[in-house]
Every structure is written in C-alpha cells, then in structure tokens.
C-alpha cells in the first residue's frame, strides 16, 4: 500500500510517500513560502529531482503543485492519485481528547479546531492541510497523528501546574508535551535493539533539535516530559528560552513589554540565539566557541547543563533506568554535545565511551562504556515513518 504523509506548517508543506509495509520511500518533497511570489517546490524520487520556483498564492495552490509533481510523467511517483491507499497527517496539538492517532472525519476536524487556542501557530495550518488533502484525495482514508498523544499517559502529578484548579478545569491549562511521535519512535526502536518487549523498558529519550524535549518513559509509556502547555517549557532550544522564573514575565510586562513582544522574545529571540547573540545552530556555535567566542561557549554550556538537570530529574522519577537515548539533529550528530551533557554522571551509573560516542554520528547504536549501569543509545528519529506506520496500521 502507498501511504502519503503530510506535515503542514504555516507557509510550508512537507510530504513523503512510502510503500508499506516495506517502508521504502517512493518520493519526498517540500513546498516552501506558500502565499509568496517566490515560493519554491522540491521533490526527490528514485527517478530524479524536480525543483520549481513560482508564485503560490495559497494552500490550494501548494497542494496543486504537490499533485503535479507526484503525477509528473518523467520524475513522478504516481500515475493516478488513487494509487495512494491512505494519508497520514502530523497534527501538533491533540488537547486532552486524543490519546492516539485518529481517523479523520468532520467531527475530528472540529476536535482539532477546538484546541486552536492551545497551538495557534500549528493547529490552524495542520487543519488547513487536512481539509485541502481531503478535498484533493476524496475518499482515500486519512489519519491524524498527534504530537501530544504519546504523552497522554502522563499522570496528573506530573501534568498539573500548581495554580488553582479552575485554570485546569475551565481553561485546560496543564502539561501536554510534544515531539510524541519522535519519543515513541525512538523508544520502540531502542526496545527492539535491546531485544526487549516495548512495554518492559524504562527510558529517558532526549529529542534535541531546533526544538528540544526530554521524556521519562516507564514500561513503554510516557510519564513526564519537559515541554508543557506549549513547546516553550523545558530545555534551552535554538530560539526558545525553555524554563524560566515566571516572575521575569511580570517584571518585563511592567517595564512595557506587551504580550506579543514577550512571545517573540521568549520563542524567537532567546535560547542559543539569545545567549550567543549570534546563532541558533549548535554546529555554528561549536565553531565559534572553538575560535574563542565566549558567548557561544556559554550558550552551549547552558544548553547542556539544562539537559543534564532533566536527565537527573528523570532518573529520580523512574528510579530504574534501562537506557538514555539521543535523537534529533543535535542528539544524533552532536558527539561533542552528548559528551558535554553526560560529563560526570558516573555516580548515577551513566558513563559514556568516548570512542563509541565519536563513531556514532547519525547512526544507531550503543555508546556507553562497559561499566555504565545505564545504557546510552543514539537512535535517528523518523517522525514521517512513525506517521506512515500508524496510518498503515489503522487503514490496512
């Protein structure tokens, strides 16, 4: 069966076509800057590459472009759209309702709309993508896969904030957590690599990319995660502050910062970018730090320190930990960063093997020393494949 996966952002549409259950990739592509005169589209198939630049006034135009690329007689991947057996969509926020992937119908669309306020940047374009895709693909079954769903198992002790109950009951303010498709994917993969049943392992999964989060997994289920009501909480990220004293927000508000400027400050101008005053990219910062840039070095130290703190906290939460997993662009490739994070954690039973660490750049494997009580894994994530698997499982 051919399964098409969509990840629809505010101005970009990513897509990937899989042959399932073989899990081979038949096509992958991206439409960028939808709504602009200089939009661009790209698709790669085993038969070649298509690259286009042209104005795309809106989402329907973006989808029409994807259709024409998929059906391209020379470099396309399909003869007719009806070759697609099912379609999976990434949806960032599922609120409290969705604990797993769901078949898409009108009622589900209303459910996604109901949590627009909790994810104003993500859910509206996710829903537009779903609507456009349903319009284009007609009766082909479609599935929504939520970034929050894996964290549905988090207990109330970990998901409630210590504010009056009515803010939870009336406004649904609680920890939801994100990157669920990735945390679940690498957790299942790790259990497989350890030769263990997926519901028998206790893990700490570190998804470290431009957005980053850590999850504590007990017997295969998420029991705590660093992101909260929104993806702003937790780790230091490329441009997000992560945890900070909420008092800072009142202080700045009294100094004249309004809601919009605070939102921009903490989501877009903080994190590695804010600390270094130069870049949100770990690779750039590592080069700058090596060349003597002390702000870049401090940014990397603070980034690593925050992750170390969360790992320590989750060791305490889980008590017994089988493995720590690194994934995401930084987790998979950043051997220096992994070493910085795990430095001096031997008393907790966490000891890295420097050589194995350095030889695992973007490849899956174990990187702990022989005397490390807790195993340490690098596992490349594949959120699109996770969505394709769920979609296939639910529709085949």
Q: For this structure, is 147 an active site residue?
A: yes
Q: What is the dihedral of CA 269, 12, 133, 95, to 10 degrees?
A: -10
210 binds ligand ADP per the rule CB under 6 A: yes
Contacts 24+ apart (CB under 8 A), 165-172: 172/95, 172/96, 172/118
Binders in 316-335 for ligand ADP, by CB under 6 A: 328-330, 333-334
* Of 118 and 236, CB closest to ligand ADP: 236
Judged by CB under 6 A, does residue 231 bind ligand ADP?
Answer: no
Which CB atom, from 129 or from 211, has the smaller least distance to ligand ADP? 211
Tokens of 342: 């795990």
- CB closer to ligand ADP out of 31 and 282: 282
CA 326 to chain centroid: 13
The dihedral built from the CA positions of residue 219, 224, 230 and 232, taken in this order, carries a sign that is negative
Is the CB of 202 or the CB of 381 nearer to ligand ADP?
381
Minimum CB distance to ligand ADP smaller for 94 or for 331: 331
- Residue ranges in 335-364 that form contacts with ligand ADP under rule CB under 6 A: 337
CA distance 294 to 316: 33
Considering only residues 232-291, where is the footprint of ligand ADP by CB under 6 A? Answer: 238, 281-283
Return the H-helix or E-strand segment holding 69.
helix 59-70
- Number of residues binding to ligand ADP, judged by CB under 6 A: 13
Specify burial of residue 327 (Cβ count, 10 A radius: 0-12, 13-18, 19+): buried
Question: DSSP characters for 11-60?
Answer: S-EEEEEEETTTTEEEEEEEEESTTBTT-EEEEEETTEEEEEE--B-SHH
Q: Which of 38, 74, 147, 245 is catalytic?
A: 147
Residue 376, CA atoms < 13 Å, CB-side half-sphere: 29
Give the residue, chosen from 62, 125, 177, 211, that forms a contact with ligand ADP under the rule CB under 6 A: 211
Sole window of 116-124, 165-173, 204-212, 224-232 interacting with ligand ADP (rule: CB under 6 A)? 204-212
Stretch in the footprint of ligand ADP (CB under 6 A) among 51-59, 163-171, 206-214, 316-324: 206-214
Residues at the contact surface with ligand ADP, assessed by CB under 6 A = 209-211, 238, 281-283, 328-330, 333-334, 337
């Amino acid at each position: 069966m051919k399964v098409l996966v969509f990840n629809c952002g505010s101005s970009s549409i990513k897509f990937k076509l899989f042959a399932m259950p073989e899990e081979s990739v038949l096509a992958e592509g991206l439409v960028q800057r939808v709504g602009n005169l200089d939009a661009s589209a790209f698709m790669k198939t085993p038969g070649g590459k298509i690259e286009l630049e042209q104005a795309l006034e809106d989402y329907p135009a973006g989808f029409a472009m994807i259709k024409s690329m998929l059906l391209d007689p020379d470099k396309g991947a399909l003869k007719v759209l009806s070759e697609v057996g099912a379609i999976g969509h990434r949806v960032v926020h599922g609120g409290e309702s969705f604990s797993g992937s769901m078949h898409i119908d009108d009622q589900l669309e209303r459910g996604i709309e109901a949590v627009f306020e909790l994810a104003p940047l993500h859910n509206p374009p996710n829903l537009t993508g779903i609507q456009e895709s349903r319009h284009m693909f007609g009766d082909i079954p479609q599935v929504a896969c939520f970034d929050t769903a894996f964290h549905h198992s988090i207990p109330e002790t970990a998901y409630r904030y210590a504010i009056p109950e009515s803010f939870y009951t009336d406004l649904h303010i609680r920890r939801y957590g994100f990157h669920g498709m990735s945390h679940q994917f690498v957790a299942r993969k790790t259990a497989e690599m350890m030769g263990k049943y997926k519901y028998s392992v206790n893990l700490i999964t570190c998804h470290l990319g431009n957005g980053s989060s850590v999850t504590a997994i007990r017997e295969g289920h998420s029991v705590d995660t660093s992101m909260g009501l929104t993806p702003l909480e937790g780790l230091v990220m490329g441009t997000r502050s992560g945890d900070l004293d909420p008092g800072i927000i009142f202080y700045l508000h009294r100094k004249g910062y309004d809601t919009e400027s605070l939102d921009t400050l903490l989501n877009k101008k903080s994190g590695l970018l804010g600390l270094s005053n130069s870049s949100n990219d770990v690779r750039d910062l590592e080069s700058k730090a090596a060349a003597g840039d002390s702000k870049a070095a401090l940014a990397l130290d603070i980034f690593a320190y925050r992750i170390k703190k969360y790992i320590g906290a989750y060791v305490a939460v889980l008590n017994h930990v089988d493995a720590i997993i690194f994934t995401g662009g930084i987790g998979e490739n950043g051997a220096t960063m992994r070493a910085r994070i795990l430095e001096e954690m031997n008393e907790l039973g966490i000891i890295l093997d420097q050589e194995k660490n350095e030889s695992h750049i973007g490849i899956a494997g174990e990187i702990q020393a022989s005397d490390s009580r807790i195993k340490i894994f690098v596992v490349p994530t594949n959120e699109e494949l996770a969505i394709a698997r769920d979609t296939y499982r639910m529709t085949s």
